[in-house]
Structure 1
Amino acid sequence: MTAEPADGRLAKGERRRRAILDATARVVERDGVAGVSHRAIAREAEVPPASIAYYFAGIDDLLVATLLESVELLIADVARMREDTPEDGRAWARTIAENLAIMINERRGRTIAEYELYLLAARRPALRPAARRWIEVATGEINEGRGADAGVVKALFAAIDGLLMQALIADEPPVAADFEPALHFLLQPLSYLREVGEVTG
């Protein structure tokens, strides 16, 4: 029997690892973090339970990898928004509002799972770098990395987290138009900082 080429084995291994991460995200969406176990993930991913231990040192390692996978999706969202949105406060408010509406309505389960993992980082230090990564990357996108006061940016992301949390518990999930006025208000300090940078630069 011909041995499988090394690159074929690597590709197969990466597919299995990704299947485990996708399964973990689905379990967290459906059952919460408490539902994550080697047995539950193996069943969801349709892989032998030993595969979980092969790819991940433990449950924390698996949760960190799952959170990082979600963070990369958020980073891709930010990059797309940055590419498609002109440097205008109202345009940014509309773009972010539309993205938040998608997170609440079309990707509600994934958003809940992300926040469960995000909050778990308060109890499990191993998750904290992954939980902070998307904020650190997104901060670099503010004002093209120019003149973004750290306190203002921190307040902006804290407010966006708050808007999402409120939206998740609302009886009627908000649409983009519901988010836009608050976001326009929140983005005004950033517009001011950009204008100051242009004058003094």
Structure 2
Amino acid sequence: MVRNEARRTALADAAIEVLARDGARGLTFRAVDTEAGVPPGTASNYFAGRDELLHQAGLHIHVRLTPDETVLAGLMAAPRDRALVFRLMHDLRDRMLADRAGYLALLELRLEATRRPALREALTETLRDNLAANVGFHVDAGLPGGADTVLLLYFAMTGLLVEHLTTPDVLAEHDVTALVDLIVASALPE
């Protein structure tokens, strides 16, 4: 396969945008080429098939959604207390909302994984590794609570983000910032 990494990244970004906008059924090589603004047939030169395109999009979504190292370092300069966990969860919310397409594409991949065993296996491995890394980060950083706290935060924040990004009117009477605070306060009572 072709080795132009900048173009490969641009195609993966285009695939994410197509997934978010059109769903997994709309993810075609032609749609990716059009979204990326490249000549027809370009995506098929970079990805051996649709399954590889889905897999690479999934891997790249996690790159896009990963916290910026500088921002994270700034956050982690604070005392390792309950207040820092609040700031970390608000940063998570902000990152997911800032890359709405990335998060929606991840949801599309989760749904498509229910129909594609190879995608399910790859996505499960990636999500499991990310969850383990989050638990490890929290514990190693000396943040309050332990692995169970991270699991509670993970599942609660995931549910909040899914609701907010897919059916925001459900939360119309609620302030999302206050809901993040409620999640953290429930996971880490004083």
Length-normalised TM-score, structure 2: 0.76
Q: How does 1:62-101 map to 2 (within 5 A)?
A: 62-77=53-68, 80-81=71-72, 83-85=74-76, 86=78, 87-101=80-94
Distance 2:10 2:51 in 1: 17
From 98, 108, 113, the equivalent of 2:100 is 108
What is the CA distance between 1:122 and its match in structure 2? 3.4
Q: Displacement of 1:83 after TM fit? A: 4.8
Instruction: Identify the match of residue 34 of structure 2 among 18, 27, 43.
Output: 43
Q: CA deviation at 1:95?
A: 3.0
What is the CA deviation profile of residues 121-180 of structure 1, one whole-angstrom value per residue up to 9, with x for unaligned ones?
333324332333322322221122669754443333122211212222221384423311
How many residue pairs are counted as aligned between the two chains? 178
What residue ranges of structure 2 are gaps of 5+ in the alignment? none
Structure 2 distance, partners of 1:149, 1:131, is 19
**Aligned alpha-carbon RMSD (Å):** 2.9
Question: Aligned pair in 2 of structure 1 residues 115, 102: CA closer, same or farther (>3 Å)?
Answer: same
Amino acid at match of 1:112: L
Describe the SS at the equivalent of 2:66.
helix
**1:194 match:** none
TM-score (norm 1): 0.72
In structure 2, which of residues 8, 15, 19 is the aligned counterpart of residue 28 of structure 1? 19
Q: Identify which of 152, 158, 161 aligns with 1:164.
A: 161
Conservation of the 8 A alpha-carbon contact between 2:18 and 2:27: yes
Q: 1:136 to 1:48 in 2, by over 3 A?
A: farther
Aligned to 1:130: 126
- C-alpha separation between the residues in 2 aligned to 1:108 and 1:61? 23
Structure 1 residues 107 and 154: CA distance shift in structure 2, 3 A = same
Summarize the Cα distance change of 1:82–1:167 in structure 2 as closer, same or farther, 3 Å threshold.
farther
SS at match of 1:140: helix
Q: Which has the larger radius of gyration?
A: 1
Structure-2 change in CA distance of 1:54 and 1:67 (3 Å): same
